[in-house]
Every structure is written in structure tokens, then in C-alpha cells.
Amino acid sequence: MSAPLLNGSGCLDALTAPDVAAQFDAFVTKTITPQSREGNPPVRIAETEAGMLNSIGLQGPGIEVFLADTLPRLAAQHLPIWVSVGGFSAADFGGICELLDGRRDIDVIELNLSCPNVDEAPESSAQIVAACRASTVKPLYAKLSPSLSDIAESARAVVAAGADGLTLVNTLRGMALDSATLRPKLARGFGGYSGPALKPVALACVSACARAVDVPIVGLGGVWSGQDALELIAAGASVVSLGTVLFSDPTAPNRIRMELEAESAARGYADPLDARGAANS
């Protein structure tokens, strides 16, 4: 079996682009929060020389509308569903997980512990994971920031608290200036940086965490080709996620899947996952 492909949370709307979503092995929702949120004021997206900045601010309908309206329509597409969960306290995260726990149409919960566009919860990532573990038996994946001072230690802490897997990495905080005014392009000033330039950072984080913990890792950050996907697997990922590339190439999932198979076969691997961890030996 080839490495599963996912979309990055917030990078695809399966309801408006079902043909793109169908190219993936599972669909990851936009991050769901306890209450509805308008998000940050525009301008919220800016292109850069080697990627993109976004400052959406977790815009969404809130958990009640998601469960009543969005989730049934997603489930009708017959794709495994990963729900990205966000909040501003451990109680927020745990409360949403409790509501999701009994839903058979949800396969995995991904905990967005590292959004750079909103205020962070006061509790540590491990405390949030522990609150969620007490609220659900569903698989929990902790999405960590590449800005952590010691991401391997953070990985150990969230796994010890009950995380079943990791998603690495979220965006980096960055800023872009208008060349004429020298003012920030984004209304909030800064945002989450993603795109090709993030790949070396993602590789380092995936490798460090793969050495530190023995759990599945979703690798994402700068994947534009099958070669990029294979490198994340070699660093220790067992699942690959596509994000920014989807904004410019809606055929990317099928293309990258074929390129991944070709790149791994050219190196003598019968399956791309046979290359997992090759960079760490």
C-alpha cells in the first residue's frame, strides 16, 4: 500500500471541491472551534517569493453548526473524516472532543495546538492532549508548531499524555511588506507562512520526532512533488499531507501520488513506505 495522502486543514473545502477531495485517502476539516468565529479582518492572504502567508484566524461556524449541517454533508462523500479541533483552553478542546466521541462518521481528531493566527491556550500542549484523551477514545493526532524550542521533547510530552500520532508541521509565523508603502500586507501584520520554503523545516521536525517517539507521523510542509513526499517519508512520516500546493494545482494529489510511486520505485522500494526513516539510519 502506498503512503496515504491527506489535505492540510484549511487548504481545501470538500463541499465546494468534491472532485479534489476525492483524490485523497481521507479529508481533514478546517479547524472547528466551540463558538462561531468571523476570523481576522482582511487582508488575510498574501503571496511571497517562495510561499504564502495566511491570517484567516480560525473562521468557522462553531461545533454545533458543524455537527448539525457540515458533518452530514461531508459524510455523504464517503471519505474518512479527520476533524481538526481548536480552542482557547484545555476545556475548549476537551469539550469538542467529547461531542465528537460518539460520532461514527469521524475517524480521527487532529488537535490544532499551534495556530499562529490566534491567541494560544494558557495550558501546555500536553495538558490539552490529556484533557482530550479523557474525553474521547478516538485516535488523537497532535499538530505541533515548528517554532518550538525542542519539538522532540514536545512530541514525547504529548504522546505521554495520550496522543496516538503527530502532525508535523504547522505554519511558521512570518510577515510580508508592501514594496511601495513598506506596511504589512496582512491586516494583522503577520500570519502563518507555508509553501516550498517550509520543507527543510518540516523535514528537520519530522526527523527529530521520529527519533523521539514511535507513533505515526503526518508530514506536511512544502510538498510540491512526489520527491518532496518521499523525502518526508524518509525523514519518518507515514502519511503525507498537501497544503499550499492545492491553491495553485487542484490535480496535485493524483499527480504527486504517481510521482511518489515512480520516485520510490526508481530507488528500489516496492512501496514508498519502505523508505520510511531512511534519513535517520
Helix (H, G, I), strand (E, B) or coil at 112: strand
Q: What string of DSSP letters covers 128-184?
A: HHHHHHTT--S-EEEE--TT-TTHHHHHHHHHHTT-SEEEE--PEEE--B-TTT-SB
Q: Which residue has the cell 493566527?
A: 117
For residue 192, give the H/E element and its range: strand 191-194
Number of H helices, E strands in the chain: 10, 12
For residue 108, give the H/E element and its range: strand 108-112
For this structure, is 209 an active site residue?
A: no
What single-letter DSSP state applies at residue 39?
A: -
Based on C-alpha coordinates, what's the Rg of the chain?
A: 18
Helix (H, G, I), strand (E, B) or coil at 236: coil
User: Considering 115, 132, 205, 209, which one is annotated as catalytic?
Assistant: 115
Residues marked active site are found at: 115
